[in-house]
Amino acid sequence: MNRILMLSTGGTLASSHSANGLAPGLHGGEILDRISGLTAGFTVVEEELFMLDSSNMQPENWSVIAAHIYERRKEYDGIVVIHGTDTLAYTASALSFALQGIEIPVVLTGSQVSIENPIADATENCRAALHMAASHCPGVYVAFNRKIIQGTRASKVRTRSFDAFESIDYPYAARINSGGLMINPMLRRRAGKCVLQNHFCTDVFLLKIFPGMSPDIFQRLKEMGIRGVYVEAFGIGGLPFEGRNLSEAIGRAVADGMVIAVGSQCLYEGSDFSVYEVGRQVLAYGVIETGNMTSEAAVTKLMWTLGQYEDPKKVRRVMSTNLLGEMGNTINWNE
């Protein structure tokens, strides 16, 4: 019988109506009681870490979750984390980097509707999470709407639909259908010796480029003490250098020691800054191209890398390395 640890952190799944609107109010034990019909074949132990709307989830909370998982991982066959959906993809990515080599499955899930609601998606998502946690496929995953997504490739793409999350440019780790939990035969099982690396630097900024943006923004960010910036550029990869020369401003920032990673504003298919002149110019200044990495993965990886290393050159090398499938692979196993 698989031993599963369920960590609750709040979110919509755990929410109840209050005078100020929906807010987390159901404790972990109450959630476990409500899904008791799903736990046959498992021994599920519940622990409550937080009672947070995920909009209030912070990097300091990621560190606590990662440390708790690291400390308890050898006692269980898998771990389920109940989490709000709004920042779930950020947490999944952050835990992936903080717990590289984790020996067991760690599965994050939540819901679009409170588990108190009879039409909630919460029960089905918890079912998927429990079974993936018992799969003996090591790694960090997101379970939602009968899909299992690798933690570094998940993104919330819908605000109301039960089909809220997608695996961006990457095959699902598993799917649930009439045959049960169907593990993708291409799934890379990355178990190793897990070393906890749960420090995240918050001196990071996410910048979405738009026509007319002032290049002075990079000097202002430097004055604020920002060490790293993730830039969402246009299309396949473009930053303006005429009229308002953002490329040159980025070059000065890089020369001053700021780490700047660039990707595309487009959700799918990623960037290739070698195609157009407007992309090649910025590459020449020493930025890191993130390809088809999600914004959630790019931001959390930048925070994590800056949290581990002081040397900008080392940070750039690690940011450019595909650690956990966060960049590359566009195979579509989803259809």
DSSP single-letter state for residue 24 = E
Q: Contact, 52 vs 22, CB < 8 A?
A: no
Q: Contact, 252 vs 218, CB < 8 A?
A: yes
**What Rg do the C-alpha atoms of the chain give, in angstroms?**
20
Sign of CA dihedral 57, 63, 68, 70: positive
- Considering the candidates 12, 152, 290, 294, report the single residue annotated as catalytic: 12
Strand intervals (E) in the chain: 2-10, 15-16, 23-24, 42-52, 78-82, 105-109, 139-144, 147-150, 154-156, 165-167, 174-177, 180-183, 204-208, 228-233, 259-264, 288-289
Distance CA 292, CA 302 (A): 15
Q: Which of 43, 51, 9 is nearest to 133 (CA)?
A: 43
Residue with tokens 């990515």: 93
Distance CA 148, CA 166 (A): 9
Q: Contact, 98 vs 78, CB < 8 A?
A: no
Please indicate whether residue 12 is annotated as part of the active site: yes
Q: Which of 63, 85, 64, 79 is nearest to 13 (CA)?
A: 85
Structure tokens at 34: 């409500």
Return the amino acid letter for 187. L
Distance CA 63, CA 161 (A): 30
List the catalytic residues: 12
